[in-house]
Structure 1
Amino acid sequence: MLDLRRLRLLAEFARRGSIAATAAALGYTPSAVSQQLATLEREARVPLLDRTARSAELTDAGRRLAGRAEEILTLVEAAEAELSAQAGLPMGRVVVTAFPTAAVAFAPALAHGLADHPGLAFVLRQSSPEDGMRQVRGGEADIALVDDWTGKLPEQAPAALEFFRLRRDPLLLVVPAGHPLADPDRPVDLQELREEPWMAAPPGEPSRQAVERLLDTVGGARPVPWEFEGLHTILGLVSRGIGVTAVPALALAAGERDVVVRSIPGCALAREVYAVTRAASVRRPSVAATLRALYAAAQAVRLPDGLEVDGEPGGTGQE
């Protein structure tokens, strides 16, 4: 009989493409992964991997079994979810990964929302949306908080994953407290900001691409003179009068002082924020309770005072 743990290893190998990457993802040593896959080959009675001195790849039989392994693991999880649903109480460990701004923005309300479930052990980790989705699909995490600037992520994702929309996160202009545009009565004109020192994330980052698209609407701006990892770092530097920036609203949830936030007339740039989980695990009470708490936490985050985007009013702090 084929062992479920070894089938999971095979499915992970099919996703990662190497024994070393599979071992790193699951917390094993490469030799342990290799030994377990060799044992699975003996159980299957056919070669599953074509090994060379430096690499390994799936045989045709290995690819077929890896596909079946995904189906088997999904069915097992669905059966476990049905049994858990009958018990009704959220219990056990739930692992959530989140991109950094969502982790900071949602954590307070999320912790409050899950306090009513003493049998639930909750773990929140920070990771990129891509890594988070890989962890969910591989079973290392139960839910991933991801952002999408393209509007196409749900339809491009594997069918085994289910998306729950949490909120729209618009791009907002942020200037130092002493900047002329800190005056709320002064209209925002991006043309006036073309020669300002803009601060942004490194090239390739989604927020950087959003800033570039924003500036392209007014003919572009001079090259960004300052590039920093982390939107909170950028906001801290703007507060010191070093430059201006544009960031998604969630980045402002920590309440950076000495900056003024303005909506951008005519700007439709925004990201959608989703909670992603395996479709087979949605019925688990622990996952369902966490999804509800995540939605409530996302709604509790308000835009800064005086702003309104798509009818969502500004506010202070979190409810």
Structure 2
Amino acid sequence: MLEVRRLRLLAEFARRGSIAATAAALGYTPSAVSQQLAALEREARVALLDRTARSAELTDAGRRLAERAEEILTLVEAAEAELSANADAPMGRVVVTAFPTAAVAFAPALAGSLADHPELTFVLRQTRPGDGIRQVRSGEVDIALVDDWTGKLAVHAPATLKFFHLCRDPLVLVVPARHPMADPAKPVDLQELREEAWMAAPTGEPSRQAVDRLLDTVGGRRPIPWEFEGLHTILSLVARGIGIAAIPALALAAGDREVAVRRIPDCDLTRDVYAVTRAASVRRPSVAVTLRAIYAAARNVPPVLPDEPDEELGSALPDSTAPDSTAPDSTAPDSTRPD
């Protein structure tokens, strides 16, 4: 009989590619992981790993069993979700990971909403770009808030994951409050800003790639931004009059800013924000109520350009996300389909 816990280790090894990475992800020692995988080989009566002195990789049989393990683990989680769906109230621990701007923007509303469920233990963590989906797949977290500048993330997602679209988050221009371009009556002209001190996230960050695409359209000598880690650091520098920046609008949702925000004309650089969870876990009351709280948080984020019409910054969530519904699919059928 194959043990589910060991199948989980095998599936994680298939994703990570090494015993050390698998151990780090799941909180075990490499020796413990190696021993458990060896025990699984004895249960399966076939070699699952091809080991050398310095590395290990899956055999053909190991790859086939790892694929089956993913299916088995999904079925186990679905069965657990069906059983827990009969609970009177959400309970237990639910872990959400989010990219930093979403964590800061949504945390107050989430804390307020989930406080109504005393049996629920809520954990919100920040994560680096690209880690959220991996952590959901591995079971490290229940829900990930992720951003996508390509428009393709949900399209190519595996069937074991479910994407819930929260909002579209465009790039906006931020300048010091006393900057000439702070006047809403003055048209934004990026060519006039070529010689300004631009600031942006480090090279390789998703928002930096969007900023680079924007600066490519300025014309003339392309501005080379100064690099700073963290959008909130950039905002604080703009507020001090040190430079200007183009950032995702959601970074401004926390308030307490002393900058002027302007829409960038003819700019279609925007990111989609999603909540991602395993499809098998959607019916768990703790996950369902947290997803509804995330919907509400996204819907209630205040607009950053109150003096201008703003359809992109608002959430696409319908008003029917009733707090007593049992699953997000039944509350928002149009907005919960993968895009």
TM-score (normalizing by structure 1): 0.95
Write the deviation string for residues 172-230 of structure 1: whole angstroms up to 9, x where unpaired. Answer: 10001111011111111111112211100111111111111112223265342410110
CA positional deviation for 1:312? 5.4
Match of 1:317 in 2: none
Match of 1:71 in 2: 71
Match of 2:311 in 1: 310
Work out the CA distance in 1 between the residues paired with 2:313 and 2:100.
23
CA positional deviation for 1:258? 2.3
Task: Work out whether residues 212 and 220 of structure 1, in 8 Å CA contact, stay in contact via their aligned partners in 2.
Answer: no
Task: Work out whether residues 176 and 243 of structure 1, in 8 Å CA contact, stay in contact via their aligned partners in 2.
Answer: yes
1:224 aligns to what SS in structure 2? coil
Work out the CA distance in 2 between the residues paired with 1:219 and 1:189.
11
Work out the CA distance in 2 between the residues paired with 1:172 and 1:283.
37
Q: How does 1:205-244 map to 2 (within 5 A)?
A: 205-219=205-219, 221-244=221-244
Q: 1:226 to 1:312 in 2, by over 3 A?
A: closer
Write the deviation string for residues 48-89 of structure 1: whole angstroms up to 9, x where unpaired. Answer: 100000000001111111001000000000000111112242
CA positional deviation for 1:262? 0.7
User: 2:212 is matched by which residue type in structure 1?
Assistant: E
2:97 aligns to what SS in structure 1? strand
Work out the CA distance in 2 between the residues paired with 1:145 and 1:200.
22
2:172 aligns to what SS in structure 1? strand
Q: Which of the two has greater helix per residue?
A: 1
Task: Work out whether residues 7 and 69 of structure 2, in 8 Å CA contact, stay in contact via their aligned partners in 1.
Answer: yes
Task: Work out whether residues 197 and 244 of structure 1, in 8 Å CA contact, stay in contact via their aligned partners in 2.
Answer: yes
Task: Work out whether residues 91 and 120 of structure 2, in 8 Å CA contact, stay in contact via their aligned partners in 1.
Answer: yes
Work out the CA distance in 1 between the residues paired with 2:100 and 2:241.
24
Q: Which runs of 5+ in 2 are unaligned?
A: 315-339
Match of 1:278 in 2: 278
User: 2:160 is matched by which residue type in structure 1?
Assistant: A
Work out the CA distance in 1 between the residues paired with 2:30 and 2:250.
39
Task: Work out whether residues 188 and 265 of structure 2, in 8 Å CA contact, stay in contact via their aligned partners in 1.
Answer: yes
Task: Work out whether residues 167 and 312 of structure 2, in 8 Å CA contact, stay in contact via their aligned partners in 1.
Answer: no
Work out the CA distance in 1 between the residues paired with 2:195 and 2:308.
25
Match of 1:172 in 2: 172
Match of 1:316 in 2: none
CA positional deviation for 1:161? 0.6
Task: Work out whether residues 166 and 295 of structure 2, in 8 Å CA contact, stay in contact via their aligned partners in 1.
Answer: yes
User: 1:179 is matched by which residue type in structure 2?
Assistant: H
Work out the CA distance in 2 between the residues paired with 1:151 and 1:178.
36
User: 1:247 is matched by which residue type in structure 2?
Assistant: I
Task: Work out whether residues 262 and 307 of structure 1, in 8 Å CA contact, stay in contact via their aligned partners in 2.
Answer: no
Match of 1:158 in 2: 158
Match of 2:297 in 1: 297
Match of 2:328 in 1: none
CA positional deviation for 1:256? 4.0
Please, what is the CA RMSD of the aligned residues? 1.3
Work out the CA distance in 1 between the residues paired with 2:284 and 2:144.
16
Match of 1:195 in 2: 195
Task: Work out whether residues 235 and 256 of structure 1, in 8 Å CA contact, stay in contact via their aligned partners in 2.
Answer: no
Task: Work out whether residues 105 and 250 of structure 1, in 8 Å CA contact, stay in contact via their aligned partners in 2.
Answer: yes
Q: 1:223 to 1:193 in 2, by over 3 A?
A: closer
- Answer with 118-127 or 302-311: which moved more: 302-311
User: 1:22 is matched by which residue type in structure 2?
Assistant: T
Work out the CA distance in 1 between the residues paired with 2:2 and 2:141.
24
Write the deviation string for residues 123-162 of structure 1: whole angstroms up to 9, x where unpaired. Answer: 0000024211111000110000000011100011221110
Q: How does 1:39-188 map to 2 (within 5 A)?
A: 39-188=39-188
User: 1:275 is matched by which residue type in structure 2?
Assistant: A
TM-score (normalizing by structure 2): 0.90
CA positional deviation for 1:36? 0.6
Q: 1:201 to 1:224 in 2, by over 3 A?
A: same
Q: 1:203 to 1:253 in 2, by over 3 A?
A: same
Work out the CA distance in 1 between the residues paired with 2:242 and 2:211.
17
CA positional deviation for 1:308? 3.0
1:87 aligns to what SS in structure 2? coil
Task: Work out whether residues 149 and 272 of structure 1, in 8 Å CA contact, stay in contact via their aligned partners in 2.
Answer: yes
CA positional deviation for 1:254? 2.0
How many residue pairs match? The answer is 313
Task: Work out whether residues 164 and 275 of structure 1, in 8 Å CA contact, stay in contact via their aligned partners in 2.
Answer: yes
- Answer with 213-222 or 50-59: which moved more: 213-222
Task: Work out whether residues 199 and 227 of structure 1, in 8 Å CA contact, stay in contact via their aligned partners in 2.
Answer: yes
Work out the CA distance in 2 between the residues paired with 1:164 and 1:146.
10
Deviation >4 Å, runs of 4+:
none
Q: 1:189 to 1:146 in 2, by over 3 A?
A: same
1:14 aligns with 2:26: no
Task: Work out whether residues 129 and 145 of structure 1, in 8 Å CA contact, stay in contact via their aligned partners in 2.
Answer: no
1:280 aligns to what SS in structure 2? helix
Work out the CA distance in 2 between the residues paired with 1:10 and 1:126.
27
